[in-house]
Amino acid sequence: MDAQEVTVLLAQCQGGDKHAWDALVEAYWQRLYGFAWQSTKNPELAHDLVQETFLRVVQKLERYDHRNKFDAWLFRILVNLIRDHSRARVRRPIRSTVIDNVTGAEITDDMAARTGPPSDPVHHQEDVQRLYEALEQLPDMDRQVLLLRHYGEMPFKDIAKTLNCPLGTVLARAHRALEKLRVFMEVDHETA
């Protein structure tokens, strides 16, 4: 979707057009979800974070500066929500409690639930899994740069705005992250 189409859609959204909201969500949902899923490795959490992102857009749309790129603003909201969630999770680990119906005993799991990737074609599954594992080995900021580039389909200049850091830093992180991924994938392939 080009900048002019986004501007028109946003104006319609500000006017209360429900069809424009649907079009806006449809245009960005998959990219946001892909980024959130890769960042959290939890499909339900990713879904919730994307919904929260759109809720924030609704709440803040009147203050949105149309001179800025909407994509960068949208992904900045999502990145901040993911960071907030990660910080809260460190301070307060996820606990799940189940009560046994027979004995009435409480069983508590202090480990956060993590789910695997969505099902992939069988012939690519091993490579995809190795890539996910390699991505997990990257520092958070390096991984975010790659995910914004891939899922956000963002130019590096917009990634710099989204992450609030200099363009040179973003370019260096992308280069370093891709080099590390290449090494991780080669090492993993040689040991497989």
Q: Please give the domain boundaries of the chain with CATH numbers for all domains.
A: 3-91 (1.10.1740.10), 118-191 (1.10.10.10)
Q: The tokens of 38 are what? A: 């890769």
Q: Note the pLDDT of residue 189.
A: 54
When pLDDT is averaged across residues 121-136 and rounded to a whole number, the result is: 68
Return d(Cα 44, Cα 46) in angstroms, integer.
5
What percent of the chain stands above pLDDT 70?
A: 76
**What is the structure's pLDDT at 119?**
44
CA 181/CA 102 separation, integer angstroms = 49
What 29-35 contacts at long range (C-beta under 8 Å, 24+ apart), as own/partner pairs, is: 31/151, 31/152, 31/153, 32/74, 32/75, 32/78, 32/151, 34/147, 34/150, 34/151, 35/75, 35/78, 35/147, 35/148, 35/151, 35/152
Chain centroid to CA 59: how far? 20
User: Looking at per-residue confidence, does 71 or 103 come out higher?
Assistant: 71
Condensed to tens digits (0 to 9), the pLDDT of residues 2-48 reads 888 888 888 898 888 889 999 999 999 999 999 899 888 888 999 99
Query: What pLDDT, on a 0 to 100 scale, did the predictor assign at position 78?
Result: 92
Q: Would you state the pLDDT for residue 50?
A: 93
pLDDT for residue 99: 52
Return the pLDDT at 135. Answer: 82
pLDDT at 49: 93
Mean per-residue pLDDT, 127-155:
83
